[in-house]
């Protein structure tokens, strides 16, 4: 059994997720429930989580998922006895969540450098990523500048070991050096193309090159 305030908060979260796909902030919850401080919201959130009505999505900031609704809230949405049964509707999940992905050092966008592995994590808006496993690399160099990939950007990479013609990929060369380039084939060779007229394409035997992933997005900091 939920208290009136718990029901009011759960309804507010559900309405916002249905309307915008974005969970409300704690400040918005405080104002909606006319509370004086956010500590009251924290207590209500904890109570709803303990009772299984909501859950916080792991490794994501400010993202809540409504797991179920109490009968008092959900009754209006029930079909009448004469209505055809409706399939269960998936509850919306927040679209403003943030995912932490591994940050694996710096990758050259000019000439290959030694591939670095690290244990740092980078917080990335989930909207920038698609399905699959991802990691991030910090770009060093300017050879992909004409593709909008600049020195200091974070390249968001979807793990894959295959690539199509013309995709921007992370290519591991001779199992020790990594580079970010357009992937193409030319005869019996693999050609890795820069996006900067000041740099020349790089040619390799296919046995020298292993695809480590393809570009899924970019994250840029202005500071």
**What are the Cα distances from residue 155, in Å, to 80, 103, 112?**
52, 10, 15
Catalytic residue among 82, 181, 189, 197: 181
The length of the chain in residues reads 223
Q: Is 37 annotated as catalytic?
A: no
68 is a catalytic site residue: no
Q: Which residues pair with residue 202 across a beta bridge? A: 192
Catalytic residue among 30, 38, 68, 143: 143
Q: What angle do CA 3, 74, 40 make, to 5 degrees?
A: 30
Per DSSP, 45 falls in state H
- Cβ-based neighbour number of residue 177 at 10 Å: 16
Q: HEC states along 86-149?
A: CCCCCCCECCCCEEEEEEEEEEECCCCEECCCCCEEEEEEHHHCCCCCEEEEEEECCCCHHHCC
The catalytic residues are 143, 181
């Amino acid at each position: 059994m939920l208290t009136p305030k718990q029901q009011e908060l759960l309804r507010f979260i559900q309405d916002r997720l249905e309307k915008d796909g974005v969970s409300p902030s704690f400040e918005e919850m405080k104002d909606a429930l006319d509370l004086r401080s956010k500590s009251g919201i924290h207590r209500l959130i904890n109570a709803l989580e303990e009772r299984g009505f909501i859950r916080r999505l792991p490794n994501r900031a400010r993202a809540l998922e409504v797991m179920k609704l109490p009968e008092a809230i959900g009754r209006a949405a029930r079909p009448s006895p004469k209505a055809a049964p409706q399939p269960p509707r998936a509850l919306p999940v927040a679209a403003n969540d943030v995912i932490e992905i591994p940050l694996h050092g710096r990758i050259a966008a000019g000439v290959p450098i030694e591939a670095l592995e690290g244990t740092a994590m980078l917080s990335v808006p989930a909207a920038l990523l698609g399905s699959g496993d991802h990691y991030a690399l910090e770009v060093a160099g300017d050879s992909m500048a004409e593709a909008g990939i600049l020195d200091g950007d974070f390249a968001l990479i979807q793990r894959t070991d295959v690539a199509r013609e013309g995709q921007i990929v992370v290519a591991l060369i001779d199992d020790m050096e990594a580079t970010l380039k357009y992937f193409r084939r030319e005869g019996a060779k693999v050609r890795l193309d820069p996006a900067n007229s000041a740099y020349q394409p790089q040619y390799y035997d296919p046995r020298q090159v292993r695809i480590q992933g393809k570009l899924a997005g970019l994250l840029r900091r202005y500071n």
